[in-house]
Amino acid sequence: MEKLQIAIEKARASRLAQRGQTDATGGQTSPEEAVSRHRDQGDAWAALREVSLQPKTLEKSRVIAYHSGALSTYYDILRTRLRDEVKRRGFRRIAVTSTGPGAGKSTTLANLSLSFGRMPLYRTMVLDFDLRRPSLHRLLGLEPKSDMGAVLRGEVPFDEHILRYGENVAFGLNAAPVPQSSELLQSERTHDFLSAVDDVYHPDLTLFDMPPFLAADDTQGFLSSIDGVLLVVESGKTTRQQLDSVEQKLSELTTVVGVVLNKCPFPDESDAGSYGYEYGY
Ligand SMILES: Nc1ncnc2c1ncn2[C@@H]1O[C@H](COP(=O)(O)OP(=O)(O)OP(=O)(O)O)[C@@H](O)[C@H]1O
Ligand SMILES: [Mg+2]
């Protein structure tokens, strides 16, 4: 039996055991549930389809952290702080969300992913779980043939869908919005699937692009599957009241590992923050 199938079964068996139930399927999983046909995590990463990214396309979407430089510095600082914070807390899965739409979650995550890509030996899995308004594929200039909805429903094997950038970043993207996103994200199948991905690929960190917290129940419903949240705040738009109320609500449900103040205007052009990006913990 393939390693991913075993991992999915293990995850399901452990969940059922916690409830004192037995596996009604007799331990059988469909071949569609396979995450990877490779036995070793290094092989599993190497077998993912490798893609290249076009600097011009990236820059049009404000994705600049594919190389180090003055503008990337702030994403690199955020990356390293996030890496240290998740390591300190023993976290592996972080969702990126905001109060309302358009704060810059996807742009921040795309940059953060490429910044992590420049950190050798640190494996980052980046999954677009904003199934309502997926945009990471556009920001990266990639055209996925399918979507994470099909993967989560077991219609498309994970290892056929995921795209690898360099040796240590893997993207799970969507070609189009996925219906019934909230129910799908909250399903036990998704829960087991993520456990299996952890077992097979052992990412150091998995980052999830999510819808705004106030826009739908997708993010709140998914919090039980993640360790913490990175909250993106849009300077000049997100009000103090919105931020306080969402941060408090999130803190009751999970750990807010950081708050990113995005699109922040800086009067001094010599300050790299003139790019409009700041961070805070
Ligand atoms: N630091 C920034 N400076 C200037 N513009 C930015 C910055 N970050 C993002 N933007 C712009 O803001 C807009 C929204 O960005 P993005 O799509 O990343 O937000 P989002 O929070 O993911 O939106 P949604 O809620 O729709 O998912 C885009 O036009 C993007 O280019
Ligand atoms: Mg987005």
The 10s digit of each residue's pLDDT in 15-52 is 667 666 554 444 444 433 556 666 677 789 999 999 99
Q: Residue 16: what pLDDT?
A: 67
Q: Residue 68: what pLDDT?
A: 94
Whole-number Å distance between alpha carbons of 223 and 8: 20
For residue 125, pLDDT beyond 70 = yes
Closest C-alpha residue for ligand 1 atom 1: 263
If you average pLDDT over residues 192-215, what whole number do you get?
96
139 vs 270, more confident: 139
Q: Which of 59, 64, 106 to mutate to test the pocket of ligand 1 (most atoms within 8 A of CB)?
A: 106
Q: Residue 193: what pLDDT?
A: 95
**Count of alpha carbons within 13 angstroms of residue 35, beta-carbon side:** 29
Q: Residue 10: what pLDDT?
A: 77
Percentage of the chain lying above the pLDDT 70 cut: 84
Encode pLDDT of 149-160 as tens digits.
999 999 999 999
Task: Tell me which residue has tokens 């999915």.
Answer: 8
Q: Residue 22: what pLDDT?
A: 52
116 CA distance to ligand 1 middle (Å): 20
Residue ranges lining ligand 1, Cβ < 6 Å: 62, 98, 101-107, 130, 133, 135, 212, 262-263, 276-277
Closest CA to 232 of 248, 209, 252, 216: 209
Q: Which atom of ligand 1 is nearest to the CA of 101?
A: 25
Our measurement of the distance from residue 157's CA atom to the centroid of its chain's CA atoms, rounded to an integer in Å, reads 18
Superfamily grouping for domain 47-275 = P-loop containing nucleotide triphosphate hydrolases (3.40.50.300)
238 vs 128, more confident: 128
For residue 225, pLDDT beyond 60 = yes
Which residue ranges make up each domain of the chain?
Answer: 47-275
* 127 phi and psi angles, rounded to 5 deg: -115, 125
Kindly indicate the confidence band of residue 279, based on its pLDDT and cuts at 50, 70 and 90: very low
Burial label for 77, CB within 10 Å (0-12, 13-18, 19+), is middle
Kindly indicate the confidence band of residue 13, based on its pLDDT and cuts at 50, 70 and 90: confident
Q: Residue 150: what pLDDT?
A: 96
* 237 phi and psi angles, rounded to 5 deg: -120, -50
For residue 102, pLDDT beyond 60 = yes
Q: Which atom of ligand 1 is nearest to the CA of 110?
A: 18
